[in-house]
Structure 1
Amino acid sequence: GFGLAGHAFEMARAAGVTFEIDYAALPIMAGALAAYRRGISSAANPANRRLVGRAIEFLPPRPAWEEELLFDPQTSGGLLAAVPEAEAPPLLAELHSSGVTEARIIGRVTERAGETLLKIRSNS
């Protein structure tokens, strides 16, 4: 796996857009955050970070251990979907009513911002 950053990068690159992701909206498991804080990482993280390269921007900058979570390939089959903004709330409600309670809106798609394909913000 390519982690959230890798998958979002591939989607943004193919569509010619920039993804703005709200870091605070991400469903991060406390144990994963604690492991990264202690310096425990996946062997695939460096390759995933190289894939994204300089196309990612953290606004404001985050500690490296928080950034690393976005490159972790151990997403257990997470699904990233980009849908028209007006369709997102009803889709989210449908997912929740179908039992997919962890589904959430984590960002938005914007016009391409130069070479930056991923902007990771702290909106919440």
Structure 2
Amino acid sequence: MRQALLLLPLLAAACAGGDAANPAATLGCSGEVRLRNIGPMAVEQAYFSASGPANWGPDLLTPTDIPAGGDRTVMATPGRNAVRIVFANGRAAEMAGVDVCTTPTLSISPTELIASR
């Protein structure tokens, strides 16, 4: 009986709501991400997808871009996301598994995407 009583608080917490597939959503994470363009070329498009690259959704930079040396804050789904960045020359860079709650800054260069705090 004691074991069952110890599990009750855990079960109550699990049933209290939240997103079981995306537990970061229940930790007070807003999904706010700072995009820093540290490269020499403008970034024209940015996509974040919690369900993976098959479902990018809308361009989060519309209607403006991020100029070289500039930054912009966008809202993504809290938790892990795939990211797609498109540069002014049409070249794209992608990164999977970016946890926007633990690494809410994404530095963008022509050769890499760097997720950090």
- TM, length-normalised to structure 2: 0.25
State the structure with bigger RCO (CA 8 A, min sep 6), 1 or 2. Answer: 1
Determine which structure has more spread, i.e. the larger CA radius of gyration. 2
Q: Name the structure with the higher helix share.
A: 1
